[in-house]
C-alpha cells in the first residue's frame, strides 16, 4: 500500500517546521529517502527532523563524506548523501545503518536503489514556478502510514 500527501512550502523556515513535524513520529530503524534537485531543500528538511530528534549539533550536507552520524539526540541520525555513488560503487555497508537503532535519511536515494529497504518514507521536493517548493510524502510500508495521517501544516 502506498499513500501520499503534498505540501506547498514557502520558506526555509517552513521546510524546517515540516521536518520537525515528520521527526516527531519517527521510530528506530525508520528510513527516509529524499529526492529533489540541487538546492531544493533536502538538507533543510533534515535540519527539522534532527531538531525533532533532539539533536543540537549543526546539520549540514554530507556530500563529500557520504555520511554524517549525529548521536546526541533521543536516537542516532544517519544522514547520507549518495549523489556520487551508484549501484556498482561497492557501498553495500551502508545497509547496516538501516537497522542500527536510529533514523536513516538518504539524499539522492535512487543512486543506491538496489540496497534500499522495502519499507520507507519517500520525500520528494520539487521547485514550483512561484519559487516555493512542493513536498510530496509517500509511505511504502504500514509503519510509515501514521506519519502521513498525522503530519499537517
Say what the pTM is: 0.91
Residue 135 lies in a domain: no
What is the pLDDT averaged over residues 83-111? 81
pLDDT of residue 127: 94
Percent helix, strand and coil across the chain, each rounded to 5? 30, 30, 40
**137: pLDDT strictly greater than 70:** yes
Residue 3 lies in a domain: no
**83: pLDDT strictly greater than 90:** no
pLDDT of residue 88: 64
Residue 5 lies in a domain: no
Residue 133 lies in a domain: no
Q: How many domains does the chain have?
A: 1
Higher pLDDT among residues 8 and 81, named by residue: 8
Higher pLDDT among residues 82 and 125, named by residue: 125
Please report the DSSP string for 6-21 in residue order: EEEE-SHHHHHHHHHH
Angle (CA) 53-96-112 rounded to 5° is 95
**1: pLDDT strictly greater than 60:** no
The fraction of the chain above a pLDDT of 90, given in percent, is 62
Query: What cell numbers appear for 84 in the block?
Result: 556520487
What is the pLDDT averaged over residues 118-134? 95
Residue 77 lies in a domain: yes
What is the pLDDT averaged over residues 97-111? 92
Residue 134 lies in a domain: no
Q: What CATH number corresponds to the domain at position 115?
A: 3.40.50.300
Q: Provide the residue range defining the domain that includes 84.
A: 11-126+141-150
Amino acid at each position: 500500500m502506498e499513500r501520499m500527501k503534498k505540501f506547498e512550502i514557502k520558506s526555509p523556515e517552513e521546510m524546517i517546521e515540516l521536518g520537525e513535524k515528520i521527526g516527531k513520529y519517527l521510530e528506530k530503524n525508520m528510513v527516509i529517502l529524499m529526492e529533489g534537485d540541487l538546492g531544493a531543500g533536502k538538507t533543510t528538511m533534515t535540519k527539522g527532523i534532527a531538531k525533532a530528534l533532539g539533536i543540537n549539533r549543526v546539520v549540514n550536507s554530507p556530500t563529500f563524506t557520504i555520511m554524517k552520524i549525529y548521536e546526541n539526540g533521543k536516537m542516532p541520525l544517519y544522514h547520507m548523501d549518495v549523489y556520487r555513488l551508484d549501484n556498482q560503487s561497492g557501498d553495500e555497508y551502508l545497509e547496516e545503518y538501516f537497522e542500527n537503532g536510529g533514523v536513516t535519511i538518504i539524499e539522492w536515494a535512487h543512486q543506491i536503489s538496489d540496497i534500499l529497504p522495502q519499507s520507507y518514507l519517500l520525500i520528494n521536493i520539487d521547485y514550483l514556478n512561484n519559487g516555493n517548493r512542493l513536498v510530496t510524502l509517500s509511505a511504502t510500508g504500514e509503519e510509515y502510514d501514521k506519519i502521513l495521517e498525522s503530519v499537517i501544516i
